[in-house]
Structure 1
């Protein structure tokens, strides 16, 4: 390691006699450790000396926590603490040797204890925030790609540090503590989060407040969503707005560029059970929107997001089969479609077609809801005769056909009706016959059927429904 320029009193590597010289020496090493070659040749005695300075300075912080009158004397100690953390942070960058040396000195324990003291200080000083942030950066760097250090950080930091930091008003502190949590988590530690759900919920809140921050997002997508047990336990405790945030990320994972891995699919089969069960139980809440003074509350929005999730899940071949046989799902979707369809016809409300309500009355909450219900029915009936027959038994075919109207509140509604009818009639003569008879009796609009790519033909006194375009698909 290149020798630093000596401060006023010569550095021995072991003793620096005054706080000012301590600070100057620390700054020299902080700068030197920006270079990989200096990190790789650093003697262990440097880290021992930094730890000694950190311990001495932390005593001043501890005193200020016990005696608020001492806070005004913290400035020099906070400077030293900050520079200690910066020095250690830089020394750990992509250097496992230094990570191990610093960890073996029990520096992690001292750092965590000091950071927890910061939350007890009732002061608003930028110098305190800077020390706080640098301490968290150090813990993140010492744990990076080092399983032994990750274990040590977890042992000392969980759960108190995360409870203290993930809901901190300072965005950087939230981001850095999220980085530490992301770096330290593994399947075994996820189990511990099930017993400390507030930490998991705080991560959801952090993403909700700071969607631009990558660490809370990565914790959710790369760790939480791989654990159906954690998601199920957490979902029951989340507020409706927090559920919306989580469900949005589930949709993003499903429609992302990267296909689901085998491990992802195993977890998402369990997620599908949770989402389908929740929708069956809660979907009636959307009927609140039929009232004149409908509340656009988070409970309704969470139900809408559940439908979005189910649409995307049933567009996945591996998840579709499970949801096609989920008890009560198809029946509940048809019931709900009928209820909102009738409600939209009987009175002017959010489920009425757009030409029946005045501009400005349209709710973004319900936009596309009917379209997605019909899309989900189409998916659930894809190459599944039992479900095709069930829709017929529940008089769902006339309901779907009657929904085929231009409606600005439901983009692509006609296309989804076409899609659903194709999947309902594929290799199903009975359902084809139902539609053919509706057309013959004037119950189905002939021009509408033609626009949808169907036509009815009489053959030997029998009505045949023919498709004039491509066969069915799943979307």
Structure 2
């Protein structure tokens, strides 16, 4: 059996003859030598035996194809197909050459093939040619870029310099699923912390926004999920700019992606914790500014209330964040957050009493049956957030006393089909409010005597009221 080097030398000679004798004779044909090298590069020993001359020849072929395709597209000549076929084969050959072979990645980049490939792919992405051969070349070109960039920082930087942002935007909005997937893969591979500054430029922010918009339309897009959760969330300033510039629908998608990161990723690194704390503080601010929009859901009719849905997602996220006291204790100190949550609970409770709507407590039928309604669980989550914010925090325990929040919580802990687990969160809130806080304990115990609460209600929450030496004491019902 001939050694790999001998096979590659023979294949290279065949390719050279084709380039010099056939390629210049008009329409491309007889590219069997190129296909043979593509096949050889599927095996590691042949990739390792590749000569730089092969890449120089492929560059020559790609340059000729680029010239012909540009000319024919400009002249509306439908005969660009054969040159697209040649381009696709060049990309397949280069794609194979890069697999687990850093020396070939370097040789390809040094030969200038990345620049030529990005230029040609850009022409294919912008063309109106509907031929399948054009689309195939586009796909193969993106696969090549993904392979040449894999694990190679210099190649990643070279692609980013030439493809950002226009080619990536074209891929994210392309109707072909494979172009979309391959383009997303290249974007993720080339994006690192140093690239975030480029996205913060106002002219480039649309690319970051398009990532979330595309994910909203194609939620199975795993690469976009990784771009947001592993790239964007490490840059709080970018997340802030995106949130401010997004539609309500895309804000909901972004919040859900942040929620999935916090819920699923454990443990967080110190860098991730720092970034997410800054994002959490920002989102706390957004909740305070937007929270009253949720009251729109109390209005009759089926009108679109996207802003109210954003508020609901913000609340879900704040609940999840404040459940992690180790990483997000900063939220307990956010100015105005606890006041806003108590005020929102009071307003939604009042809205539910004034008319029959999604905030009205119900035990059956009409409202309680629609457990898919966006407002289901909203009041329960408000109480959950109050509980989390008061967890071992004396200042917030005092504030709830000052805001007269304890009677409000007790008034919201009846069985309510619109708020599953409402009682459980109320019990948790009372537990956190009374822990090592005698004043709140006395207040709750005194409510029984004043008639604002009764023993059965407190017992249902796991508490007993006892009178001792003329004082009412609140005790846990558990022994």
TM-score, normalised with respect to structure 1: 0.94
Aligned-partner SS, 1:15: helix
Asked if 2 retains the 8 angstrom alpha-carbon contact of 1:47 and 1:102, the reply is: yes
Q: Does 1:151 align with 2:157?
A: yes
CA RMSD of aligned residues (A): 1.9
Q: Does 1:113 align with 2:122?
A: no
Q: Does 1:62 align with 2:62?
A: no
CA distance in 1, matches of 2:48, 2:454: 79
CA distance in 2, matches of 1:463, 1:91: 81
Find the counterpart in structure 1 of residue 145 from structure 2: 139
Find the counterpart in structure 2 of residue 101 from structure 1: 107
CA distance in 2, matches of 1:467, 1:57: 81
Structure 1 residues 33-83: Cα deviation after superposition (integer angstroms, max 9, x where no partner): 111111111111111111111111111210123211x1x111211110110
CA distance in 1, matches of 2:5, 2:219: 43
Asked if 2 retains the 8 angstrom alpha-carbon contact of 1:354 and 1:408, the reply is: yes
Asked if 2 retains the 8 angstrom alpha-carbon contact of 1:227 and 1:267, the reply is: yes
Find the counterpart in structure 2 of residue 442 from structure 1: 451
1:45 maps to which of 26, 50, 53: 53
Find the counterpart in structure 1 of residue 390 from structure 2: 381
Cα distance, 1:268–1:469 mapped onto 2, change above 3 Å: farther
- Per the TM alignment, residue 406 of structure 1 is displaced from its structure 2 partner at its CA by 1.6
Asked if 2 retains the 8 angstrom alpha-carbon contact of 1:304 and 1:365, the reply is: yes
Aligned-partner SS, 1:407: coil
Q: Does 1:32 align with 2:34?
A: no
CA distance in 1, matches of 2:302, 2:433: 34
Give the total of aligned pairs.
467
Find the counterpart in structure 2 of residue 473 from structure 1: none
Q: Does 1:232 align with 2:234?
A: no
Structure 1: unaligned runs, 5 residues or longer: 471-475
2:407 maps to which of 387, 391, 398: 398
Q: Does 1:279 align with 2:287?
A: yes
Find the counterpart in structure 2 of residue 304 from structure 1: 312
Aligned-partner SS, 1:136: helix
Aligned-partner SS, 1:258: coil
Aligned-partner SS, 1:458: strand
CA distance in 2, matches of 1:14, 1:445: 94
Asked if 1 retains the 8 angstrom alpha-carbon contact of 2:397 and 2:433, the reply is: yes
1:454 maps to which of 456, 460, 463: 463
Cα distance, 1:355–1:63 mapped onto 2, change above 3 Å: same
Find the counterpart in structure 2 of residue 77 from structure 1: 83
Structure 2: unaligned runs, 5 residues or longer: none
CA distance in 2, matches of 1:373, 1:431: 19
- Per the TM alignment, residue 421 of structure 1 is displaced from its structure 2 partner at its CA by 0.6
Aligned-partner SS, 1:280: helix
